[in-house]
Amino acid sequence: MAFKYQQLAQQVVTEIQADKLKAGDPLPALRKFARLHQVSLATASQTYEWLQRQGLIVAKAQSGFYIKGQPSTLPLSTPGPKSICIEHDPSDVIFDIMQNALTHDRIGLSSGFLDESLRPSVALQRSIKRSARLANITANSYGHTQGDIKLRRVIAEQMRERFCLVNQDEILITNGCLEAVNLAVQQVTLAGDTVAIFTPCYSGLLTALQYANRKILEIPCDSEGPDMQHVALLFSQKKFSCLIISAIAANPLGFNLSHQHKKQLAALAKQHQIYIIEDDTFGSLAYQTQDTGPVYAYEHHGFVVYCSSFSKDLNPSMRIGWIASGSLIPTLMRRKVSMNITCNMPCQLAMADYLLSESYPAHLRKLRNILQLQIMKLQASVLKYFPSGTRVSEPKGGFFIWVELPQPLLAMDIYQQSVQLGICFMPGHTFSMSGQYDHCLRLSVIRLWDESLSNAVSQLGQIAHALMQK
């Protein structure tokens, strides 16, 4: 005979299987659950603990318990350790798909930035007006190439909270994170050099490296990141001039590198004197904030260059990013002067004003909880509507999931039909120059889940089922 907590847990499982409880639905608080079922608080706790161990519910800090849904029994495929040096250039195709996403996506499944509804737009508007009134002369000038001192100071303070030893003099403000990465690549490599990346990789970075005339070495990753023994071997063999990584909520797989792996990467950069450029764009959107410090936080003797922005968690149109480096800032400033002199001063002043208001931490706490719940609903919807054998990632942060289609489906075949319906996504081959992810795609959830998103995923699933039957 089952214990009482097991009987109660089975009732919850039955409701999940019957679709009465859906991914993202809240469960009663423990005390309320105990009252509803006339059991002790200890029994209610045992029930929720059992459901958590089965991966069916998730606890959210200061929020409660939520249905995670029926997990996929199929984890993402594990790639072979072989790295691929790219010889051909599909960047024109990648560019066309990215432009389609900006022009034709009426749902947002391809988007790389949050919907207005999830941004603190009113607070940012207040900061824009306040900073324009209080710093009128500064706001209407070029400003310093390195960036506004107040903004650099508050960024440095936030980085120190993530255990990074940095001050305002070691920060350069840039037009978004991609400019920061581009500046760093130009600084630590030469045209024709090989730049290693973790793949699948953000498509904008791939095209930027191609146009900068850098060769690309793709290092494959699974849901936990790369094979670190393979990475260490590539370092020792000097197979690349620099390595570009994302350690937290990496786009598109959503993995967080472990403490040990981040420490190892910093040590490898230091030992072999090969620069690591760290793109931490999604670092602030890790669902659990424990052990989410960047590689830059570890001892690296200046061989890790940190890049990030506020485009993903606050506002993409303000284009505020930055580079942190202990030794490269003076030469990076000279490179920036040759490109665009400085960054938009009204936006810098407004961002500094907002960050100093201390609204940012509260916004992030709320946003992380919201995004994790929306991701759960997106995962459940894909597993419900897509063909059997579909695999879905379990991201540790951000607002993307990576989907592996069963053979013989190709993402571009689905894309060519779905774009006619105004439903766009990012096909897998836009995340690699090697064509090895043709059976994959990335989906975004940038706003609260609603019927239009569910219907769009359902339509993608219908297209996939029809193609399977051909």
Question: Does the residue 100 lie in any domain?
Answer: no
Tell me the pLDDT tens digit for each residue of 285-305: 999 888 889 999 999 999 999
Tell me the pLDDT tens digit for each residue of 213-250: 999 999 999 999 999 999 999 999 999 999 999 999 99
- How distant is the alpha carbon of residue 446 from its chain centre? 12
Confidence (pLDDT) at 2: 61
Average pLDDT score, the chain: 91
Enumerate the β-bridge partners of residue 88: none
**pLDDT greater than 90 at residue 143:** no
**Exposed e or buried b per residue across 87-105, where buried means at least 16 C-beta atoms within 10 angstroms of its C-beta:** eeebbeebeebbeebeeeb
Confidence (pLDDT) at 93: 75
Tell me the pLDDT tens digit for each residue of 391-413: 999 999 999 999 999 999 999 99
Do residue 147 and residue 292 come from a single domain?
A: yes
Confidence (pLDDT) at 81: 64
Tell me the pLDDT tens digit for each residue of 18-60: 778 888 889 999 999 999 999 999 899 989 988 887 778 888 7
With vertex at residue 239, the alpha carbon angle to CA 282 and CA 323, rounded to the nearest 5 degrees, is 30
Do residue 31 and residue 57 come from a single domain?
A: yes
Do residue 339 and residue 373 come from a single domain?
A: no
Question: Does the residue 109 lie in any domain?
Answer: no
**pLDDT greater than 60 at residue 204:** yes
Tell me the pLDDT tens digit for each residue of 2-12: 678 878 988 88
Do residue 351 and residue 373 come from a single domain?
A: no
**pLDDT greater than 90 at residue 449:** yes
Number of domains in the chain: 3
Question: Does the residue 16 lie in any domain?
Answer: yes
Question: Does the residue 75 lie in any domain?
Answer: no
Confidence grade of residue 424 (pLDDT, cut at 50, 70, 90): very high
Closest Cα to residue 107, out of 431, 444, 353? Answer: 444
Do residue 271 and residue 408 come from a single domain?
A: no
Name residues whose C-beta falls within 8 Å of residue 437's C-beta, 6 or more positions apart in sequence.
200, 411, 428, 429, 431
Report the CATH number that the domain containing residue 378 is assigned in CATH. 3.90.1150.10
Q: What is the mean pLDDT of residues 432-455?
A: 94
d(CA 247, CA 25): 30
Tell me the pLDDT tens digit for each residue of 293-341: 999 999 999 999 999 999 999 999 999 999 999 999 999 999 999 999 9
Question: Does the residue 112 lie in any domain?
Answer: no
Confidence grade of residue 13 (pLDDT, cut at 50, 70, 90): confident
**pLDDT greater than 60 at residue 107:** yes
Task: Report H helices in 105-237.
Answer: 121-134, 136-139, 149-160, 176-188, 203-211, 228-236
Confidence (pLDDT) at 271: 98
Question: Does the residue 101 lie in any domain?
Answer: no
Query: Where a domain ends, among 327, 360, 393?
Result: 360
What is the maximum span of the chain, computed from C-alpha positions, in angstroms? Answer: 77
Structural domain that includes position 424: 366-468
- How distant is the alpha carbon of residue 117 from its chain centre? 19
Task: Report H helices in 105-175.
Answer: 121-134, 136-139, 149-160
Confidence grade of residue 122 (pLDDT, cut at 50, 70, 90): very high
Do residue 61 and residue 172 come from a single domain?
A: no
Q: Highest mean pLDDT: which of 25-34, 59-68, 272-281, 431-440?
A: 272-281
Confidence (pLDDT) at 89: 66
Do residue 165 and residue 217 come from a single domain?
A: yes
Name residues whose C-beta falls within 8 Å of residue 28's C-beta, 6 or more positions apart in sequence.
36
Do residue 327 and residue 272 come from a single domain?
A: yes
Question: Does the residue 106 lie in any domain?
Answer: no
Confidence (pLDDT) at 182: 97
Do residue 148 and residue 282 come from a single domain?
A: yes
d(CA 375, CA 391): 14
d(CA 1, CA 58): 27
Q: What percent of the chain has pLDDT over 90?
A: 72
